[in-house]
């Protein structure tokens, strides 16, 4: 090839590139998005990420089982090399798994399928799929192999199944949003935590519990009270069973956010209980005075009981606690000190960075490594206990980061807030809600109290905020969040766009009150007629604006307008309230804009004396029950 | 002569009496005897007016006018409204044997006591038909409730409430005093409206009334329910035992048998509660004492209505009544509720709670 030809070729390529670039610019300009394609590393494709959440070691220690929420599978790895042995497909959005005591079976709780997958660990194939209750999140078999216990998030209970057949025998009342089950070391007891607070009177401190189940009798024998706690996650025990620890979120929702002097809206804590602690549980902070470690989730205690390891979803690290120092400290300070963030300096000995949204924590059999499942990085961090050095084991999956994934990472991190105090997922637990009411704005004590709402299926429900003050999600998630929550510089425009894209993509979970094929029960059918009626029981026409179906119209149950329905408070700045959507309304207690109605019934039995919130006072009690049965199907 | 004859006659009569008396003693049926231990506020009971009692293994729950008492390991613990109980007056109690949860019907709602946590359901915060809960029963995953405004049922799986009243059952009055539930049948004792039966398999309701109507004369004995004002129902071994303020009844699904003071051992027709032991035996709590029927004979336990001294009487099938020597009796003759603990009995009265310990 001659130099001249090469020169011509070069000129031609450059010219072609210029033309192509110009064409791209024109196209991009026409689309109004000139910067993204050129400047952003994120792709628009919807990619199937692995999203590991929990891990287990096989009884012989040879295999590592990884529960992958994004791909609906269990991945089986070689413990030494981390090479993949097999993938086992399970139900949709698995959240918890455990082995049978003999290790022959692996049970997986599939939250959106309402099933438990039973995997034969010899063949690594699904041997059975058992239908269970609403949104199973945790599953454990008792040591005798008689019962299988399944924690149900939506029905707030623990179902007891026949471990051989999967037949449901009974349900035990647990905390609201029952999720994580941990056996005591001897297997005689199960400890169950829950992710939403138990019901309490309006504007009182949240209350939670650890539900303790006797596995032999399959009954609840104790409820360890967790005062002030709204959200509980994993529990771990020392090998001798004398020390139990639970990862928790302790909100300060009764205090106006603008007035929080000492720290953020949450304290990230551990609850300690057991013989080493004393007759009452003790809550200890994990945060520091000017640095926060949001959303403690996974917990593990070393076999020699010298260390506790805690993963933090928001701050993307693992806290290491010296147990001896911790116990010395709590015995020297018998009073509650959860809000004294200086306390953590007495027992926290290290913070180790891991991947995004770390979840399950697992100790290797020899106790020399701590494994952490990084949900939003599709990886496992392996921490060398002695050196505290971390290596990362990637799980096979998409190499590129999509816009949705970036939005999800943004949603779950706390890095954007002042001192890393909180992230979106603090109040929207697992992208849902938190069951709390908050005093968010700097408008004085007790002014404009608001109920937190679920964020699923938000398309077509704008405007947002209790008074409809935010016309769209960028406003809701951007300046408002920056001002009231993060108290820090907010996202750049494109990060905000990705966050909004993620939030807008959240689907509505399956409605558990609907019959298959959209049929209604007789009670639901009668309730639907009441919802849509235009004439009251006395034959009087109901004005259109006073019918349920007027404001709560359309597929989402909102006409996207604001009205005075008589539930405004003297402490509200406006009496006009945004009409909330009805999607999965049964799940999101409390109700009304300020959460004053503890149940759906109270909306009408207490807070609708003048029929301003729909004509309902002509209804009998059974008719009101029918109306509520219908609303639950929305 | 005359004196001698009279002496002989008197001796013969005395001997005959002794023989007959001895025969009568031999023939007197053997009925269960108890040593009653009574509890009042003096030894820890929350209140002396005890509406309801529930045996929960070794534990005893007492629904009183001032809180729910739990007797365990020899001491009483009291739950009240500050603990989350719906109301201080606990009218009825039921045990979910599968879960160990206790359900308490009160004057202001229904409470579930589950390992110390109390959840309360009212007509304002739930689908409960009325806050005055006279009766409660648990069967499987269903909690059946008798209230002052009809019956209702809570499905513990779905949290759905179903109401039963004059609109969807043959319940002419809606003041429901008692409920008994089994896998096949549910019975409601409706004050002024007889007995309602729900066939759980078919969903069909049947209503059993007094064939004499609301007439207080018994014109048709053993032809149906003894009276419309039913107060309590117990269903065991496919037999319904029904209490009213005007006598009691036994119904085996085909035949009725009525019990009245005039032709049975009932100490009073005014019966607050009935507790069936099996198809043939039952306990009755009346305003004049505690009665036991073994299918043939009756025994009554109470403090004397005149001097308060403990008494036990036995009535055989022929109507012969004998007094048994006893040293203890239930705390009061006005009996409100009964539960059984093996061979022992627990009795809620208007003035204290009694534990009848069976004597061998």
Owner of token pair 């959460």: A595
Contacting B residues, span 142-181, partner chain A, CB-CB under 8 Å: 149, 156-163, 165, 167-168
Residues A450 and A421 occupy one common structural domain: yes
Q: What is the mean pLDDT of chain A?
A: 92
pTM, full prediction: 0.90
Residue A475 lies in a domain: yes
Interface contact B125-A605, CB threshold 8 A: yes
Residue B246 lies in a domain: yes
Residues of A in contact with B125 (CB under 8 A): 598-599, 601-602, 605
Residue A121 lies in a domain: no
Contact yes or no for A626/A632 (Cβ under 8 A): no
- With bands split at pLDDT 50, 70 and 90, how would you rate the model's confidence at A28? very low
Q: Could you tell me if A513 lies within 8 Å of chain B, comparing CB atoms?
A: yes
Which tokens sit at A284?
Answer: 């200890």
Is residue A25 over pLDDT 90? no
Structural domain including A563 reads: 521-631
pLDDT at A29: 40
Handedness of CA A615, A617, A619, A621 (dihedral sign): positive
Is residue A413 over pLDDT 80? yes
Residues recorded for chain A? 634
Q: What mean pLDDT comes out for the span A201-228?
A: 96
Residues A424 and A490 occupy one common structural domain: yes
Contact yes or no for A620/A626 (Cβ under 8 A): no
| Long-range pairs of A97-102 with CB within 8 A, sequence gap ≥ 24 | A97/A54, A97/A56, A97/A65, A97/A67, A97/A139, A98/A56, A98/A139, A98/A140, A98/A141, A98/A181, A99/A56, A99/A58, A99/A59, A99/A141, A100/A141, A100/A145, A100/A163, A101/A141, A101/A142, A101/A143, A101/A144, A101/A145, A101/A187, A102/A145
Handedness of CA B179, B180, B183, B184 (dihedral sign): negative
In three-state form (DSSP H/G/I as H, E/B as E, the rest C), the secondary structure along A304-366 is CCCEEEEEECCCCEEEEEEHHHHHHHHHHCCCCCCCCHHHHHHCEEEEEECCCCEEEEEECCC
- CA–centroid distance for A79 within its chain: 29
pLDDT at B360: 84
pLDDT at A424: 94
pLDDT at B13: 56
Each residue's pLDDT tens digit, B205-221: 999 999 988 666 777 78
Closest CA to B147 of A207, B160, B162, B159: B162
Q: What mean pLDDT comes out for the span A216-240?
A: 97
Please name the helix (run of DSSP H) or strand (run of DSSP E) that holds residue B50, with its range, or none: strand B50-56
Residues A497 and A417 occupy one common structural domain: yes
Handedness of CA B69, B70, B74, B75 (dihedral sign): negative
- Write the CB contacts of B54 (distance below 8 Å, at least 6 apart in sequence): B60, B61, B62, B63, B93, B94, B95, B102, B339
Is residue A192 over pLDDT 80? yes
pLDDT at B9: 60
- With bands split at pLDDT 50, 70 and 90, how would you rate the model's confidence at A634? very high
Residues A527 and A478 occupy one common structural domain: no
Residue A146 lies in a domain: no
Residue A596 lies in a domain: yes
Q: Could you tell me if B111 lies within 8 Å of chain A, comparing CB atoms?
A: no
- Write the CB contacts of A428 (distance below 8 Å, at least 6 apart in sequence): A411, A434, A452, A454, A455
Closest CA to A115 of A97, A103, A141, A100: A97
Q: What mean pLDDT comes out for the span B192-212?
A: 95
Burial A600-613 (b: 16+ CB within 10 A, else e): bbbbbbbbbeebeb
Residues of A in contact with B124 (CB under 8 A): 601-602, 605-606
Q: Could you tell me if B57 lies within 8 Å of chain A, comparing CB atoms?
A: no
Interface contact B112-A173, CB threshold 8 A: yes
Is residue A329 over pLDDT 70? yes
- CA–centroid distance for B304 within its chain: 20
Percent of chain B with pLDDT over 70: 92
Give me the number of domains chain B comprises. 1
CB count within 10 Å of CB A278 equals 13
When mean pLDDT is compared across B159-163, B218-222, B270-274, the lowest value belongs to B218-222
Is residue B22 over pLDDT 70? no
pLDDT at A261: 57
Residue A227 lies in a domain: no
Residue B2 lies in a domain: no
Interface contact A171-B125, CB threshold 8 A: no
Residues A619 and A525 occupy one common structural domain: yes
pLDDT at B249: 97
pLDDT at B2: 47
Residue A53 lies in a domain: no
Q: Could you tell me if B115 lies within 8 Å of chain A, comparing CB atoms?
A: yes
Each residue's pLDDT tens digit, A301-316: 999 999 999 999 999 9
Q: Could you tell me if A223 lies within 8 Å of chain B, comparing CB atoms?
A: yes
Q: What mean pLDDT comes out for the span A563-567?
A: 94
Percent of chain A with pLDDT over 70: 93
| Residue that terminates a domain, selected from A456, A471, A505 | A505
Interface contact B157-A155, CB threshold 8 A: yes
Contact yes or no for A177/A153 (Cβ under 8 A): yes
Q: What mean pLDDT comes out for the span B278-288?
A: 98
> ipTM score here?
0.88
pLDDT at A446: 85
- CA–centroid distance for B249 within its chain: 13
Residues A493 and A571 occupy one common structural domain: no
Residues A540 and A469 occupy one common structural domain: no
**How many degrees, rounded to 5, is the angle at CA A36 between CA A35 and CA A42?**
155
Q: Could you tell me if A171 lies within 8 Å of chain B, comparing CB atoms?
A: yes
Residue B286 lies in a domain: yes
Percent of chain A with pLDDT over 90: 82
**Domain of residue B63, CATH code:** 2.130.10.10
Each residue's pLDDT tens digit, A36-85: 444 568 988 889 999 999 999 999 999 999 999 999 999 999 999 999 99
pLDDT at A258: 74
When mean pLDDT is compared across A187-196, A576-585, B20-29, B55-64, the lowest value belongs to B20-29
Residue B216 lies in a domain: yes
pLDDT at B213: 81
- Phi, psi at A175, each rounded to 5°: -80, 170
Interface contact B117-A173, CB threshold 8 A: yes
Q: Could you tell me if B84 lies within 8 Å of chain A, comparing CB atoms?
A: no
Q: What mean pLDDT comes out for the span A113-120?
A: 97
Give, in order, the Cα–Cα distances in Å from B153 to each of A44, A86, B129, B162, B275. 52, 49, 9, 5, 22
Interface contact B99-A219, CB threshold 8 A: yes
Each residue's pLDDT tens digit, A457-484: 999 999 998 999 899 999 989 887 887 7
Residue A433 lies in a domain: yes
Is residue B77 over pLDDT 50? yes
Which tokens sit at B239?
Answer: 């037999």
| Residue that terminates a domain, selected from A473, A505, A537 | A505
Mutant choice from A526, A607, A621 vs B, greatest count of B C-beta within 10 A: A621
- Phi, psi at A590, each rounded to 5°: -80, 175
Which tokens sit at A280?
Answer: 């009452």
Interface contact A219-B100, CB threshold 8 A: yes
Residues A486 and A555 occupy one common structural domain: no
| Residue that terminates a domain, selected from A480, A505, A530 | A505
3-state secondary structure of A207: strand
CB count within 10 Å of CB B244 equals 26
**Domain of residue A625, CATH code:** 1.10.760.10
- CA–centroid distance for A514 within its chain: 23
10 Å CB burial of residue B27 (0-12, 13-18, 19+) is: exposed
Residues of A in contact with B119 (CB under 8 A): 173, 199
Give, in order, the Cα–Cα distances in Å from A417 to each of A268, A288, A428. 15, 15, 16
pLDDT at A337: 83
pLDDT at B1: 42
Residues A537 and A591 occupy one common structural domain: yes
Q: What mean pLDDT comes out for the span A561-575?
A: 91
Structural domain including B231 reads: 33-359
Residues A484 and A585 occupy one common structural domain: no
pLDDT at A31: 40
Residue B274 lies in a domain: yes
Is residue A504 over pLDDT 70? yes
Give me the number of domains chain A comprises. 2
Number of A to B CB contacts under 8 A, please give it.
71
- Among the partner-chain residues B99, B124, B162, the one whose CB lies closest to the CB of A601 is B124
């Amino acid at each position: 090839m001659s130099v001249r030809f090469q020169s011509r070729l070069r000129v031609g390529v450059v010219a072609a590139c210029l033309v192509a670039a110009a064409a791209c610019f024109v196209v991009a300009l026409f689309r109004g998005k000139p910067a993204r394609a050129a400047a952003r590393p994120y792709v628009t494709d919807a990619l199937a990420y692995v999203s590991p959440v929990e891990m287990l070691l096989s009884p012989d220690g040879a295999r590592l089982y990884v529960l992958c929420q994004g791909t609906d599978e269990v991945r089986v790895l070689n413990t030494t090399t981390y090479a993949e042995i097999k993938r086992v497909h399970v139900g949709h959005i698995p959240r918890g798994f455990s082995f049978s005591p003999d290790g022959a079976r692996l049970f997986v709780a599939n939250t959106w399928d309402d099933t438990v997958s039973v995997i034969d660990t010899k063949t690594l194939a699904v041997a059975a799929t058992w239908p269970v209750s609403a949104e199973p999140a945790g599953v454990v078999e008792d040591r005798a192999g008689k019962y299988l216990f399944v924690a149900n998030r939506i029905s707030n209970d623990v179902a007891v199944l026949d471990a051989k057949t999967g037949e449901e025998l009974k349900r035990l009342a647990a905390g609201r949003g029952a999720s994580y089950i941990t056996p005591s070391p001897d297997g005689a007891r199960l400890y169950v935590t829950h992710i939403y607070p138990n019901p309490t009177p309006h504007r009182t401190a949240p209350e939670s519990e650890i539900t303790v189940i006797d596995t032999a009798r399959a009954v609840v024998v104790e409820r360890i009270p967790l005062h002030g706690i709204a959200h509980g996650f994993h529990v771990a025990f020392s090998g001798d069973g004398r020390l139990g620890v639970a990862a928790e979120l302790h909100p300060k929702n009764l205090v106006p956010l603008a007035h929080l002097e000492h720290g953020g809206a949450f304290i990230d804590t551990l609850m300690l209980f057991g013989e080493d602690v004393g007759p009452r549980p003790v809550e200890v902070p994990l945060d520091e005075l000017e640095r926060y470690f949001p959303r403690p989730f996974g917990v593990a205690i070393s076999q020699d009981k010298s260390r506790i390891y805690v993963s933090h979803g928001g701050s993307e690290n693992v806290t290491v606690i010296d147990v001896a120092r911790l116990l010395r400290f709590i015995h020297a300070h018998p009073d509650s000190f959860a809000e004294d963030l200086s306390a953590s300096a007495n027992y926290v000995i290290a913070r180790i960075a891991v991947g995004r949204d770390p979840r399950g924590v697992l100790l290797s059999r020899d106790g020399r490594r701590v494994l952490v499942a990084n949900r939003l990085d599709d990886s496992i961090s392996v921490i060398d206990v002695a050196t505290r050095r971390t290596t990362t084991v990637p799980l096979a999956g998409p190499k590129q980061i999509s816009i949705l994934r970036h939005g999800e990472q943004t949603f779950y991190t706390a890095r954007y807030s002042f001192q890393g105090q909180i992230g979106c997922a603090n109040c929207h637990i697992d992208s849902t809600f938190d069951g709390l009411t908050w005093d968010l704005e700097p408008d004085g004590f007790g002014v404009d109290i608001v109920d937190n709402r679920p964020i699923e299926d938000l398309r077509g429900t704008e405007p947002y905020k209790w008074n409809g003050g935010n016309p769209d999600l960028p406003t809701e998630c951007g300046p408002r969040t920056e001002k009231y929550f993060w108290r820090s510089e907010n996202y750049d425009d494109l990060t905000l766009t990705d966050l909004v894209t993620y939030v807008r993509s959240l689907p509505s979970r399956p409605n558990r009150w609907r019959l298959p094929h959209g049929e209604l029960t007789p009670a639901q059918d009668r309730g639907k007629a009441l919802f849509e009626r235009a004439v009251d029981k006395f034959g009087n026409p109901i004005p259109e604006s006073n019918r349920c179906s007027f404001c709560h119209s359309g597929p989402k149950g909102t006409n996207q307008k604001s009205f005075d329905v008589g539930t405004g408070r003297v402490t509200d700045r406006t009496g006009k309230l945004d009409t909330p959507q009805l999607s999965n309304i049964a799940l999101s207690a409390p109700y009304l804009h300020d959460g004053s109605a503890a149940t759906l019934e109270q909306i009408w039995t207490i807070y609708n004396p003048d029929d301003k919130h729909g004509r309902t006072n002509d209804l009998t009690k059974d008719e009101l029950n029918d109306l509520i049965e219908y609303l639950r199907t929305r | 002569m005359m004196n001698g004859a009279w002496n002989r006659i008197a001796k013969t009569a005395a001997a005959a009496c002794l023989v007959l008396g001895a025969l009568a003693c031999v023939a007197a049926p053997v009925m269960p005897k108890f040593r009653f231990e009574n509890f009042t506020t003096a030894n820890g009971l929350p209140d002396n007016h005890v509406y309801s009692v529930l045996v929960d293994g070794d534990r005893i729950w007492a629904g009183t006018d001032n809180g729910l008492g739990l007797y365990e390991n020899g001491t009483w613990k009291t739950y009240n409204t500050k603990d989350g109980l719906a109301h201080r007056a606990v009218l009825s109690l039921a045990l979910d044997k599968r879960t160990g949860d206790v359900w308490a019907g009160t004057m202001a709602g229904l409470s579930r006591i589950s390992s110390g946590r109390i959840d309360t359901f009212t007509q304002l915060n739930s689908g409960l038909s009325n806050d005055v809960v006279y009766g409660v029963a648990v069967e499987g995953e269903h909690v059946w409730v008798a209230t002052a405004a009809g019956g209702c049922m809570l499905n513990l799986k779905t949290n759905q409430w179903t109401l039963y009243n004059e609109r969807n059952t043959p319940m002419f009055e809606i003041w429901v005093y008692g409920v008994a539930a089994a896998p096949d049948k549910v019975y409601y004792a409706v004050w002024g409206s007889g007995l309602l039966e729900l066939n759980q398999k078919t969903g069909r309701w049947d209503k059993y009334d007094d064939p004499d109507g609301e007439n207080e004369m018994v014109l048709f004995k053993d032809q149906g329910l003894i009276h419309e004002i039913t107060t309590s129902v117990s269903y065991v071994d496919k037999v319904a035992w029904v209490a009213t303020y005007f006598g009691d009844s036994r119904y085996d699904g085909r035949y009725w048998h009525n019990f009245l003071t005039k032709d049975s051992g009932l100490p009073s027709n005014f019966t607050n509660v009935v507790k069936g032991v099996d198809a043939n035996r039952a306990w009755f709590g009346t305003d004049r004492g505690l009665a036991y029927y073994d299918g043939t004979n009756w025994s009554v336990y109470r403090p004397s209505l005149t001097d308060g001294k403990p008494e036990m009487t036995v009535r055989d099938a022929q109507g012969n009544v004998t007094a048994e020597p006893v040293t203890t009796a239930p705390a009061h003759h006005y009996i409100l509720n009964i539960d059984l603990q093996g061979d022992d009995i627990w009795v809620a009265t208007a003035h204290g709670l009694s534990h009848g310990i069976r004597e061998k």
